[in-house]
Structure 1
Amino acid sequence: MPAPLFIGFALILMAPFAATAEELHYFRADGRMATLRAVPEGRLYVVHAPGFGPISIGRRLLVRTRRDALPMETLAELSLAVVRPLGSLPRAWLLEAPDPRAAVAACRELFIRGEAEWAVPDFRMPVSLHFRPDDPLYPTQWHLSGDAAAAIAVEAAWDLSRGEPSVVVAVVDTGVDAAHPDLDPARLSHPRNVLSRSDDPSPSPLSIDSHGTACMGLIAAGAGNAEGGSGVCPGCGWMPVRVFEDGGYMNHAALVEGIVWAADHGASVISNSWGIGQELIDQGVDVAPVKDAVRHAVTSGRGGKGCVVLFAAGNGDGNLNAQPIGPDELPAMEETVAVGGCDESGTVARYSDFGPCLSVVAPTWSGNAGTPKITTLDTLGDRGANKAGAHYRTETGQGDVPSGEDEPDAAGNYTRHFTGTSAATPVAAGVAALVLSVNPALTWREVKDILQATADKVPDPSLYGPDGHDDHYGYGRVNAQRAVAIARFGRSMPAGSPCLIPENCAGDCLDKPLRGTGPACFTPCALPADCPEREVCEAGHCYPEVTLTGGCGCAPSSRSDGVLVSLVGVLVAMRRRGMLRP
């Protein structure tokens, strides 16, 4: 039945568009012609693509030439100016035409003449930039996939980096199930079991012993691998260091050796979801050896730049009542990042310990029944918290007992019941690793400062003092996007610098400037005098002056009569080439 198909096709081709729409044509790299039905809107031509939003075409085009040298005669004939090479990509250039129609026409002409492998308008498209894993449990990880009230803005941070394998995060804990399918063995670095002095960091089978695996999952679980959920830094290296005996017991020697091992074997970040309470210290437990191990890490780690060492703030008195962080505890050290917990609304967890030494908070369980906990990895199979789809917890003298709650998978590989500042700390550690992934030159102190300076003032900015700190929230909840943006682009940078967030710029960060490409920093202005020399004030921001020429060897001129003559020359040339209608 070819006739109906042909009729339907003809109807599509002949359907009228808006009176102001124009058809613009250029050739794809494979030789197929592309037709753009565009509407002039200000200085742009805009294609309104159903379901995708507007696609804008400006004066610029991207070209990869067939020869090493640019065809300058052709460029002059087409009134094209060279803007810059496209980085180090061979024979690739960014060019600029007098207007959007001329840009598209130049793309077509360069391809027809055989001058270009490809010549494409510099489209500005409303594509989704945020990487969002398709892993089956990712939607349940509200601390990553939730809305702005709950999550740490990690998807926006992943636009810049999902982590580098050279940035290794050590989890000093109960051990890690290194065979877990959601932990990439290619990123495994220097595993250690301090207790057995071996490279097997496998945990014991009790629920409490899955603690380290759960922590590592929140940091380094793979993303986009159709397995489980995701870690905050899914591309980072991971180093499991087992220091705990069966059932969660620990000793100083193991703690010291574990931290030192991590620092001496390439760890960039050391995450510690454990602590030694002030009550034990007051009973005579001296933590000086462990503190010296921490100082070793921040002075000798990373070639002298220092490891970023994070400690959980603590989980209160055992009855979900928060307590002050003791002055002698490890989180109170200046050399550490002390991490408290907040819930899905940004409210501090009821058990999260507090004090002036608290650096930041990160997502975890609120402490209230019926509220969401954290989904992460569990020890494989019946070992750990998830046994055949049922949740178990370790009770003193009883071993593992069922809690009466379900788990997300019957295989026993994941849990949705990870809680406490133990869960918050690896989330913050993952953000620290993302920061170092985009700027490995930072010192440990600079990373700590970035985490604190970029934190969100949840749940209410009025809670924080003049210095931006609150004893229960620290400097706020970690924000991965802001932290990574500051690490990558800097703070208060001058006009012309790339940016992602306002704090990157001394002026304003414009995503869509009138001229040029964004996001970039621009100087705000109200009057022409507000702008530097050779810049003009347009729409509230300073832009470089635009000098027009006649395109026939005329010297540039900033005088009004020169501009007029130049503009006339451009218009005449365009008219002769059929680019302007009578």
Structure 2
Amino acid sequence: LISELKKIHEIEQATPDYLAFHTAVPNDPMYPSQWGHNNTSQMLSWSSNTYEHTGAAVGTYGFDTNAEIGWYGTQPYGDSNVIIAIIDSGVDADHPDLNQVTGYDFGDADNDPDDDSAEPGHGTACSGVAAAIANNNLGVAGIAGGCSIMPLKVADNDGNMAFSSIDNAIYYAADNGADIISLSLGASVDPSQVPSTETALSYALSAGVTIFAATANANNYTIDYPSNSQYVISVGAASPCDGRKRSSSNSGEVNPGNSTDPNGVTCDNEIWWGSNYGVNTQDARDAVDIIAPTILPTTDIGGSGGYNTNAGSAGDYSMWFNGTSCATPYAAGVAALIKSKYPTWTPAQIRAQIVNTAIDIVNVESSVGWDKYSGYGLVDVGAAIGPEGYPLCTITNPSPSEVIERGTIETITVSASDPGGSLNNVKIYIDDILQITLLSSPYEYSWETEFESLTNHTIKATATDNDLNETDDVIVVRIANPQENLFTDDFETNKGWTLSGEFERGAPGGLGGDHGNPDPGSAYAGSNVLGVDLTGLDNYSGDYETSLADRAYKAESPAIDCSDYNNITLSFFRWLNVEQPAYDHAYIDINNGTGWQQIWTNTAGIEDAAWSQQNFDISTYANEQAMVQIRFCMGGSDTSWQYSGWNIDDLIVSGESTIIPGYGGSSNQGDPTQPVIVDIDPIDIGGIPIDPDVSIDPEGSVGLTVDVTVSEDVQSGAPVPNPEAVQISYNISIIGNITGLTVDFDLCFDGLTGLSSILWYNGSTWLVPDNIQWENPAGHVTFSITFPSSRGSRDGSTEIILGDDNPLPVTLSSLQASFINDHAVLQWITQSETQNAGWNVYRAESSNSEQRLKI
């Protein structure tokens, strides 16, 4: 239409009448700390030194709910007519950052649901997570900061919450206009034990109320009630890392009654708790449905009355509200946003929208698709309510935090669409450098990782529609060398373990089992295992003895060299029987030369009747350590009830090399004390071999100095950006401990009047060298090339592009033209500019046209 209008002589100009949308970034002062809305790796981890969140900033960039995308629209933060009932300890009645409707106090049977029991603050915090008023330049922004809170207090004066009060609150919410119920509370009971609450939940669901409940915080494999009810959506907690919040693997660090986690604490480092998970049956009543962010800033009782004891307005907010208690109102707020956009939707439709648009979690414990730890994944506001007028854009491969093996070709895949059907292009960036612009599906890019550094890399996809609206999706992945086995033992031969007590290496014979299960009848593979009393020693044949001292039986591995390796893991197959830790103990310890440290112990009785693989991340202790030992221990034990103890098979310690292939040295750090041999073939210029001068700096990094004099303009046939080029061919072989090789070129071109630019070709891409210095005379130039640290032997070429006496004041790096919404859009990037006052842009009907019009 625009192009047709422009053809009409009477019309001077025609442009689209663009629509304006509400801002997606609220102005609340504490918003930058709310990682769940927008994760920029900003959350401070908990520190065991200060017992506060004063540790390093952590989190996976882009692992969040895409709130800023979802908030675009005519009601960006939700409809005030949509009501979230917070059934809890009450809500601070006059908090300035909460929009509240009439509620009730069922704990004390009065009309005042103020958060004033002996255990105050919890309900107020839940309310802020769900619906603290957004974009009011005050405090925090709830995920549904335009919706309203119904405060329903179920705590009595002592802070106790009876299920009879909870039942009454559920009925009240259903009968008084609540759309969503959030229950950050629970008990370890089965639904059959609380039939009255089941009836109330069923009533509310039938009345059109969508109900959310917390799984609990014990890192256990069962979820609390009412989260395990068929009438609610079960919510687990997500850390800012990459999935479910996990506890420590050390029993001495978790809260009493909480389970340790074999994969260790998540990056937040709140070691004492983890999100409960349920059965491994999708959509079962006692399975996790969804996870949502935890450890967030939120509203608190005004002044010093809540978690934050600072006086005055400084105490109106708390920074680190955690647990599934935080995740549940967040998920409830997402449901409120969906209800705001689709007011006629039923609870079943809202649930389907949440689970079908969730961000799938793939990490050390969660696999592709639904899984028992993270359910359907992290709630995704952007996908659940969708931006109005903005394209949708999601990176579907690789996954956030995925580890990609260096040297492979990774296919980056983007799912992109536009509600108006006007998607124009998708751009893919790696580390903020544009790689490709795609005009049609499939939106894919093949990323060659051979020359990438062994570190984190940011992938960004940007979808642009014909109105120039853009939506980004950003993930962070890690390039790593493949896992290598540093130590393996199938226990068929003696590899140097030191055994004490009743530890033996040999064939298991099914002995023991006075309590629990006996030893296995055979090894997991082969014939032998490492185990306790395989042959019927001492008083209890096949079982460990009574009254053992702490770690009385020990099996210590030989020293394992983990130098030049990180991300180290321990795996083995286990058959273990041990009484609960109130009586008996089994341990795994590690020593990196600073003394033995416990990495695992039984937190409950274990009665294995089959082999199972166990995996431990031991990076904290073993990364780049020259001497690492693993130790399995048995004891102490009490005076009765013997068990068969440890059986271990097929043990592997593996890690990722920090050495670039072809290079030596610890952690890629140069070692000037080691001999370095550098051999460079004669440089060939125009078919004439010239022996360069070679110098090595023994005090630091390795360098080469090449002096070449060329007496004439030599033409090269290489496929370079400019046909006038001198080609330097080289072959460099490197032996020794070096981080990479920098070659310094010092070139003199006698008889030439000037050089315009220099590019070098790394085998796939033209690059600008480092440290370019143009000197007098004009034909003299020095520059440096640092080879990609991927091989020890390198073939390549450097192109010297010749020019005239007056090089252009601008070096252009890239130029891109796109046709968007009937407009030609030009984008360019300059490598350098010298005294450049601006730009004149001209257009022509064709490349051969002699008439060019200035735009």
TM surpasses 0.5: yes
Contact 2:90 2:105 in 1 (8 A): yes
Q: List aligned pairs for 1:25-64, cutoff 5 A.
A: 59-60=1-2
Q: List aligned pairs for 1:280-319, cutoff 5 A.
A: 286-300=193-207, 306-316=208-218
Mapped pair 1:338 → 2:249 = no
Q: List aligned pairs for 1:166-181, cutoff 5 A.
A: 166-181=81-96
Counterpart in the other structure of 1:149 = 62
Name the SS for the 2:354 alignment partner.
helix
Q: In structure 2, how many angstroms separate the alpha carbons of the residues matched to 1:154 and 1:165?
A: 18
Counterpart in the other structure of 1:200 = 112
Counterpart in the other structure of 1:452 = 355
How far is 1:149 from its partner? 3.2
Q: Are residues 515 and 332 of structure 1, via their aligned partners in 2, closer, same or farther at CA, if it must alter by over 3 Å? A: closer
How far is 1:513 from its partner? 6.6
Mapped pair 1:353 → 2:265 = no
Contact 2:104 2:113 in 1 (8 A): yes
Q: Are residues 413 and 106 of structure 1, via their aligned partners in 2, closer, same or farther at CA, if it must alter by over 3 Å? A: same
Q: In structure 1, how many angstroms separate the alpha carbons of the residues matched to 2:419 and 2:187?
A: 47
Q: Deviations over 1:112-162 (max 9, x none)?
A: xxxxxxxx721669x897511111111111111324533211111110331
Counterpart in the other structure of 1:51 = none
TM-score (norm. length: structure 2): 0.39
Q: Are residues 267 and 501 of structure 1, via their aligned partners in 2, closer, same or farther at CA, if it must alter by over 3 Å? A: farther
Contact 1:360 1:474 in 2 (8 A): yes
Q: Tell me which amino acid in the other structure corresponds to 2:342.
A: N
Q: Tell me which amino acid in the other structure corresponds to 1:341.
A: A
Q: In structure 2, how many angstroms separate the alpha carbons of the residues matched to 1:313 and 1:182?
A: 28
Counterpart in the other structure of 1:386 = 308
Contact 2:108 2:157 in 1 (8 A): no
Q: In structure 2, how many angstroms separate the alpha carbons of the residues matched to 1:157 and 1:348?
A: 22
Q: Tell me which amino acid in the other structure corresponds to 1:324.
A: T
How far is 1:442 from its partner? 1.1
Mapped pair 1:258 → 2:159 = no
Counterpart in the other structure of 1:473 = 374
Name the SS for the 1:144 alignment partner.
coil
Q: Percent identity?
A: 29
How far is 1:165 from its partner? 1.4
Q: Tell me which amino acid in the other structure corresponds to 2:144.
A: C
Q: Deviations over 1:311-341 (max 9, x none)?
A: 001111xxxx433226xx3212222100001
Q: In structure 2, how many angstroms separate the alpha carbons of the residues matched to 1:139 and 1:516?
A: 31
How far is 1:251 from its partner? 0.9
Mapped pair 1:509 → 2:417 = yes
Counterpart in the other structure of 1:375 = 297
Q: Deviations over 1:235-268 (max 9, x none)?
A: 1121010011235311122010011101110000
Name the SS for the 1:375 alignment partner.
strand
Counterpart in the other structure of 1:135 = 28
Counterpart in the other structure of 1:216 = 127
Q: Tell me which amino acid in the other structure corresponds to 1:266.
A: G
Q: Deviations over 1:349-378 (max 9, x none)?
A: 1211111421000111xxxxxxxx310000
Q: In structure 1, how many angstroms separate the alpha carbons of the residues matched to 2:305 and 2:9?
A: 62
Q: In structure 1, how many angstroms separate the alpha carbons of the residues matched to 2:276 and 2:231?
A: 18
Name the SS for the 1:225 alignment partner.
coil
Name the SS for the 1:386 alignment partner.
coil
Q: Tell me which amino acid in the other structure corresponds to 2:275.
A: S
Number of aligned pairs?
Answer: 357
Q: Tell me which amino acid in the other structure corresponds to 1:193.
A: D
Q: Tell me which amino acid in the other structure corresponds to 1:339.
A: V
- Please point out which of 149, 155, 171 is paired with 1:238: 149
Q: Deviations over 1:435-477 (max 9, x none)?
A: 1100011110111111111111124499335xx2111101001
Q: Are residues 447 and 98 of structure 1, via their aligned partners in 2, closer, same or farther at CA, if it must alter by over 3 Å? A: same
Contact 2:90 2:153 in 1 (8 A): yes
Counterpart in the other structure of 1:403 = none
Q: In structure 2, how many angstroms separate the alpha carbons of the residues matched to 1:149 and 1:524?
A: 24
RMSD: 3.5
How far is 1:500 from its partner? 4.1
Q: Are residues 514 and 295 of structure 1, via their aligned partners in 2, closer, same or farther at CA, if it must alter by over 3 Å? A: closer
Name the SS for the 2:112 alignment partner.
coil
Q: Are residues 508 and 415 of structure 1, via their aligned partners in 2, closer, same or farther at CA, if it must alter by over 3 Å? A: closer
How far is 1:417 from its partner? 2.2
Name the SS for the 2:11 alignment partner.
helix
TM-score (norm. length: structure 1): 0.56
Q: List aligned pairs for 1:59-208, cutoff 5 A.
A: 59-60=1-2, 98=4, 101-102=6-7, 106=11, 121-122=15-16, 130-147=23-40, 149-160=62-73, 161-184=76-99, 188-204=100-116, 206=118, 208=119
Name the SS for the 1:145 alignment partner.
coil
Q: Deviations over 1:469-505 (max 9, x none)?
A: 11110100100111112xx99xxxxxxx9974689xx
- Give the structure with the higher percent strand: 2
Q: Tell me which amino acid in the other structure corresponds to 1:181.
A: P
Q: In structure 2, how many angstroms separate the alpha carbons of the residues matched to 1:158 and 1:387?
A: 33
Counterpart in the other structure of 1:482 = 383
How far is 1:410 from its partner? 6.5
Counterpart in the other structure of 2:569 = none
Contact 1:312 1:331 in 2 (8 A): yes
Q: Are residues 420 and 516 of structure 1, via their aligned partners in 2, closer, same or farther at CA, if it must alter by over 3 Å? A: closer
How far is 1:385 from its partner? 0.8
Q: Are residues 343 and 311 of structure 1, via their aligned partners in 2, closer, same or farther at CA, if it must alter by over 3 Å? A: same
Counterpart in the other structure of 1:34 = none
Contact 1:456 1:477 in 2 (8 A): yes
Contact 2:117 2:159 in 1 (8 A): no
Q: In structure 2, how many angstroms separate the alpha carbons of the residues matched to 1:432 and 1:271?
A: 10
Name the SS for the 2:227 alignment partner.
helix
Q: In structure 1, how many angstroms separate the alpha carbons of the residues matched to 2:89 and 2:330?
A: 18
Name the SS for the 2:65 alignment partner.
coil
Contact 2:139 2:317 in 1 (8 A): yes
Name the SS for the 2:278 alignment partner.
coil
Q: Which runs of 5+ in 2 are unaligned?
A: 41-60, 247-273, 280-286, 396-414, 427-438, 443-852
Mapped pair 1:441 → 2:344 = yes
How far is 1:517 from its partner? 13
Q: Which runs of 5+ in 1 are unaligned?
A: 1-58, 61-96, 109-119, 301-305, 365-372, 390-408, 490-496, 526-579
- Please point out which of 280, 292, 302 is paired with 1:362: 292
Q: Tell me which amino acid in the other structure corresponds to 2:290.
A: V
Q: Deviations over 1:555-580 (max 9, x none)?
A: xxxxxxxxxxxxxxxxxxxxxxxxx9
